[in-house]
Structure formats: structure tokens, C-alpha cells
A and B are shown apart, each in its own frame.
Chain A
Amino acid sequence: MKRLTLLTSGLALVAGMAAANDDLITQMDNADQWAIQTGDYKNQRYSELDQINAENVGDLQVAWTFSTGVLRGHEGSPLVIGDTMYLHTPFPNIVYALDLANDGKIKWKYEPQQDPDVIPVMCCDTVNRGVAYADGKIFLHQADTTVVALNAESGEVMWEVVNGDPSKGETNTATVLPVKDKVIVGISGGEFGVRGSVTAYDMNTGEQVWRAYSMGPDEDILVDPENTTHLGEPVGENSGTNTWEGDQWMIGGGTTWGWYSADMDENLFYYGTGNPSTWNPSQRPGDNRWSMTVMARDIDTGMAKWFYQMTPHDEWDYDGVNEMILTEQEIDGEERKLLTHFDRNGLAYTMDRVSGELLVAEKYDPAVNWTTGVDMDPESDTYGRPAVVAQYSTEQQGEDVNTTGICPAALGTKDQQPAAYSPKTETFYVPTNHVCMDYEPFRVSYTAGQPYVGATLAMYPAPDSHGGMGNFIAWDNINGEIKWSIPEQFSVWSGALATAGDVVFYGTLEGYLKAVHAETGDELYRFKTPSGIIGNVMTYMHEGKQHIGILSGVGGWAGIGLAAGLTNPNDGLGAVGGYAALSDYTALGGQLTVFTLPD
């Protein structure tokens, strides 16, 4: 009852302040700027700028550099609004405002005070995927889950709100989605038994407007049992609890640390939920809804319009959090509003983003072997479900059994590093991992604020392939086919950028910024930056010149698995040491490198 009142008052608030955020839309429409981490609300990471193009990108030079002063893994990218660049760092989450009109002089610097106790409860390094901008404010979502709004001109704190409790393992690595009069934020901590949620705060006051959990009672997960659909069928009552045993949903995972996109005409935003806790599937029977799910929710109320659970009852840690890229394309002769998603599980999904209908689900790495594919027959009882191969099922092999040769590994065929889409070529450019694993689940017990994992993993480059651990691919989302694929020695852990200049940019873990031709994938340029790249490439125009910016600073998941090199236990002793160790190529460092063409 209480929750209903909250929702109603939230609605009233919305009516009074609708569309307060046309500002960000205007900023994003100006191709000279990089106003949001994802390039735009559609998450296309595409720029109309074409001064740097396939003809001249080979002449690219370093224009200027900036050291962040932090050595941990640097994900995300800077923003550029007007003459100011906003740059963030990993923990301690410093924000710099750099004056581009004054040679990058520091206009202001904000360094939050955070309890270092949050550091060890962050799975896999203290990364942060960047700040957001709207209405003259910079939004920082800190590691300790504090969301802070800073005055974009002065760096002064305008409001602060705490979204989660790090003592229970609730942390943050993601950016936020500023949309209309709200700031929508997610949460991390799936490896600590956190119950994932998405929360909307009032952009002007920081007051909570609504919160939607990934699992739990209907009033917690904001569904309408009759009108919220899963593949066209109503989800029914108690859909967030009836595929869990007992109260396991309370520590169910399904965290929400990925990227968010929005369709303003439909008034919907899109994101994915992470793995169910624990990694031992035998300990949590059932489909574990709504972990591993693509979600479409109403921006104003949080009410779910449709869900699609990609990996029911996860057995491999294939979080569903990767970005949802929105496009308008022709499919079967009909112009449709599409959503394309490259999941950790190795399948690329093309969906109708209005209805939630599944249109295409195909492997985007031929190495993927845990499934033979998704049942695409709407009449079938298993419609939309992936057919699991028994040999690679850690559930069917059972507890205390080492299931070997599963592709992809837990880090997925792709992790959060975002793909780009060029409307010009109607092609997606996707950074991928080419890594397989052995996985042995076993019994664990839950303690609040402690890791809740329950499986042992060994990862290694995909066998019988090119020996590298990554590919950079061009993907056709209508036919579900790879157009071309560039083998990479290491996983490609950097977000891509596509431009109207027919150039696609991405970074590599050795530290290269690479430019390739959007049609052919032919390499046009490379430059070795000071440290491995796990950040996302961005572009902006300043004083008549196009610039390309990229953060270096190796770390994150990639800094764990690849630092010392991967070994394949199945290859025997002979191969040990045969695989490249990242530490032979690069060292720690946090630096922004900005490129432009010579005068």
C-alpha cells in the first residue's frame, strides 16, 4: 500500500516537470560534442563527423595528453560539452573539468571522500564507466553507490544520494542515464548475493522516484501481471518469485551494471540484468527470473512493458547487462524499431523494441558451443529458450564435476565494452572475447558482504582457432551474420566508435588505438598509447578540428585474467607459457590521449 502511494506521488511529480531534459537531447544532437557516454540515447556510438575519414586517418597525430593520476583500470570515456571536457577516473572517482579553450587547463577538480572498504567488495577492479551530463549538471555515480550531481561550471555539489550499501557488497561501476527529469541508476554486486535493482532519482533534488528490482514480489519488480509481457505472453502473477526456491530471490543477483538506452517516442528505456547468485546452479533450481533478462520499462514509472530472459537458469555466469543498441531498419520488407544486443552468452539478439518480439538470435563467434541455438518457433513450448548442450551444462554435469571446454568463458563473447553501429553501412562493430573455460561448481554458503561465488574457473584462448583471445567483428543484425572479423591477440576490451568518415576506431589491451575501414575492416592507422586500453573511443570538434579521444589504463576483468597470461590445462605442460602474458606488453597507467590531423 505504501509503495502504491509512493508511485502515485512519483507520477504527479512527473506531470509537473515533464520534458525538463530537452537540454541533453539538444546537446547530443550537436555532433561537435560527446554529450553522453553512449554517444546518444540509442547507444549507437556513431558520430556524424567526417573530417577524419578513411582517406586521411593514416595521418592522425597525437594532439595532447593528460595523466589522470590513477593507476587502476580506466573504462568509459570523457564527455565534451561546449569548450569543456569532463574526465573521470577509477576509484577514488576524481572528476576533472578541462578547459579546451585554454590548452586543457583544469577548470575544477572534484574528489569524493569514499571509504576504502568499498574497494575489496568490487568484483574485478575499481573501474568506473564515466560521468553523465544534463541541465548544467555532471552526474557521478561513485564506487560506494553515492550518486552526486555537480554544477558543471563550478564542480560544486548540488545534491547527493546513496543508492546502496557497500557493507552488503552493493557497489557501482556504471554510468547513469539522465532522461527527462530523472537520473536512472543501476547497481553491482552479483558476486556478493546482491538483489539487483534500477532506481530513478529526481534530477533536480536527488529524491527517489521509483525503484524496480530484478526479482521479488510484483510490487518490487514493477510489473503488471496482465500487461507486462515475455515474448508476447503476460508474465502472470509472482513471476519474480515463482521460479526461485523459497526466499532465494532475496539474494538472487540480477544486478544492473551495464549500459542503458532510451526511446523517447515510446517513453521506454532498455537495459539487461546480470547473473543469478551463486555461480553454482545446483544451489538455485528454477529459471531464476528475471536474471539474465532484457528489460523495457516506462521512464516515468519504471513499470515494465516487456521482458525477455535470454539465459534461463544460468550455469556459466553469462550476465545479460551488455548494451541494447536501438536502430530503425528494414526487416522482411518492413521498417521496424529494432533493439540489437550482443550477449555475454555468445548470441546476438535482434528484437522489435516496441513489442519485445524476438526476430534474430545467432552466434556471433563460431566458437560458441554451450547451445545449439534458440528455439524461434512461437508455437513451441520452449519458444525463445536456448537449447543447452549437455556436455557443456554445468548443471547437468553436476556439483564437484569439472565441465571442460565451454565456449565462451564466463567473461562472455563480449562483456560491457560497447559496440558501435553505423547507419551508413547498417553494420555493427563489435569488440569480442575469444576465450573458453572449464567450470566446476560446488557448494557455498551466503554471508552478507562476502563473495558468494561457488565455482572454480580456468580460462584459455578458444582452441583450434587463431590462438588469440579476441576478435573485432562487423555484424549484420538482420541476417545474423559476421561480415568480417579481425583476429586480436588479446580480448578487445575497448568500446568502439563508428563515424561518417567511414572509419571505425577501437583500442586493444596492448595499448593500440586502431582505425579500420568501416566497409572492409582494413587497418588504416594504429598508435601505441602508454597503457592497455579498456576505455571507449569518443570524438568531438574543437576550433574547427575533429579530435579522437581514448583513455588508456589497463585493468578490470582483463587485468586479472590476462595479466599473467592464460593457460589451457587440457593442453598439458607443453603449452604453459605459450600464451602471451599481457604484462609482457604493457604496464599500469591512466592517461587520456587525444588525436587530430596535422594542420
Chain B
Amino acid sequence: MTRPASHILAVAALAVAIPGGVLAWSDQPVKPDAEHPQVPVGYEEDGQYFTEDGIPTYQIDDDGTVDWLTFSGFRRYHAECHVCHGPDGEGSTYAPKIKNSAVNMDYYDFYDVVVNGRQNGNSVMPHFGDNPNVMCYLNDIYVYLKARGMDAVPRGRPPQKDAKSDTIAEMENACMG
């Protein structure tokens, strides 16, 4: 697929995702085969992976080993987010399949919604900007959900993971206080 086409797809999906992002059991499908510039790894820095544009992303080895942030995102997601968005980002009767939102939405928009929340009638995404349990792990949660949306990791707990790098541990401690 050509880049412009995928761009249009992404925009269309976003248009659905924002007003309709609150629809329960709604599915804003992701085509993993399409081109997703926010996905491929451009470079690695102390155990964290980024795209060419510096957007956090996941790294999965052929044997299924996931990078630390993807694993950590799995853990944090299932503590903070799954009571609305369901196990493995699969959605619930009242909150969307956020695994797809992580692919369909721009990283900065995704970040903004988590920090500030948003509302559409009686569907409300809370704001987590002052919650260190979410904010200190937002990149972790984002890359995990993006990997889920792209079907790069299966449902459930990732079986193998990279070790936590010293840099990641330092950042975590500094953030959690």
C-alpha cells in the first residue's frame, strides 16, 4: 500500500476514533499489513525503542521476546486501564478497544487524552495527568497497546521479556519518587 493511501486510512480511522471512540464494543479496525509509520523501530536507546520520528514503539524478537516497556505496559495496563477497556485492550460493554486506538491515534493525541481525559455524553475517559501509576508508565502502556493493536503480541501475558535496563529503572524511580 502506498503511503498516501495509508495516510488517508489513518485519518479516516481517527475521524471515527474521536467522536466514536467512546462507543462500547465498537471496533475501529486496524490492518496490520498496511503501512504504519508510527510502528517500525528506527533506533534503540538503553533498552527503549523509537521510530525514526522519535515516537516510542515496541520491539518483538522472532522468538516472541518483548522489550521491557512492552512487558511493563502489559502489567500497568491490567492494573489501571482494564477495568474499563477490558483484558488485553479488547474493549468492554462500555469502553472501546483501546488496542486499536493506540494504532489509529497519533501518539501525541493518545497522550493528550490520557493526561486530560475526554467526554462524550455519558461516556467519559478520566484524566490521569496527576496519577503517577499511569503517567510514569504511559510510554509502556502505549507501546504495549500498539503491539496488541498490530497483533504483534498475542493476548495474555508476554512469555519472555528483555531485562529492565538501568536507565529505565532510574527513570522509573525518579518518576515514582
Residues in chain A within 8 A of chain B (CB atoms): 71-73, 91-92, 116-117, 119-121, 123-126, 191, 279, 402, 438, 440, 442-445, 447, 450-459, 554-555, 559-561, 563-569, 573, 576, 583, 587-588
Tell me the chain B residues, 47-102 only, with Cβ under 8 Å from chain A.
74-80, 82-84, 86-88, 90-94, 97
Nearest residue, chain A, Cβ from B27 = A583
Nearest residue, chain B, Cβ from A557 = B83
CB distance A560 to B79 under 8 Å? no
CB distance A123 to B156 under 8 Å? no
CB distance B124 to A583 under 8 Å? no
Known: A442-B75, A564-B86, A567-B155. A120 touches B126 (CB 8 A): yes
Nearest residue, chain B, Cβ from A566 = B87
Task: Out of B24, B25, B157, name the residue touching A569 (CB < 8 Å).
Answer: B157
Interface assignment of B125: CB less than 8 Å from any CB of chain A: yes
Give CA–CA (A466, B133) in the complex, Å.
Answer: 38
Nearest residue, chain B, Cβ from A71 = B24
Known: A123-B83, A451-B80, A458-B156. A116 touches B24 (CB 8 A): no
Give CA–CA (A559, B90) in the complex, Å.
Answer: 12
DSSP class of A's interface residues: helix, strand, loop or mixed?
loop
Interface assignment of B132: CB less than 8 Å from any CB of chain A: yes
Return chain A residues, CB-CB under 8 Å to B167. none
Return chain B residues, CB-CB under 8 Å to A191. 83
Return chain B residues, CB-CB under 8 Å to A126. 94, 122
Return chain A residues, CB-CB under 8 Å to B75. 440, 442, 456
Return chain B residues, CB-CB under 8 Å to A555. 93-94
Known: A563-B90, A563-B93, A583-B25. A458 touches B131 (CB 8 A): no
CB distance B133 to A450 under 8 Å? yes
Known: A563-B86, A576-B155. A445 touches B177 (CB 8 A): yes
Give CA–CA (A567, B156) in the complex, Å.
Answer: 7
CB distance B122 to A91 under 8 Å? yes
Least Cβ–Cβ distance between B50 and chain A, in angstroms? 25
State which size class the interface on B falls in. Answer: 35 or more
Known: A125-B93, A559-B92, A583-B25. A119 touches B80 (CB 8 A): no
Interface assignment of B119: CB less than 8 Å from any CB of chain A: yes
Task: Out of A72, A456, A561, name the residue touching B86 (CB < 8 Å).
Answer: A561
Interface assignment of B171: CB less than 8 Å from any CB of chain A: no
Return chain B residues, CB-CB under 8 Å to A587. 25
CB distance B124 to A119 under 8 Å? yes
Nearest residue, chain B, Cβ from A558 = B93
CB distance B83 to A454 under 8 Å? no
Can you list 17 contacts pairing A with B, beta carbon distance less than 8 Å? A72-B94, A116-B121, A116-B122, A117-B124, A126-B122, A442-B75, A450-B133, A453-B133, A454-B79, A454-B133, A456-B74, A458-B157, A560-B83, A563-B86, A563-B90, A564-B88, A567-B87
Nearest residue, chain B, Cβ from A445 = B132
CB distance B93 to A73 under 8 Å? yes
CB distance A588 to B24 under 8 Å? yes
CB distance B78 to A457 under 8 Å? yes
Known: A116-B122, A587-B25. A453 touches B80 (CB 8 A): yes
CB distance B87 to A447 under 8 Å? no
Return chain B residues, CB-CB under 8 Å to A457. 78, 82
Nearest residue, chain A, Cβ from B156 = A569
Interface string of B152-177 (1 = CB under 8 A from A): 00111101000000000000000011
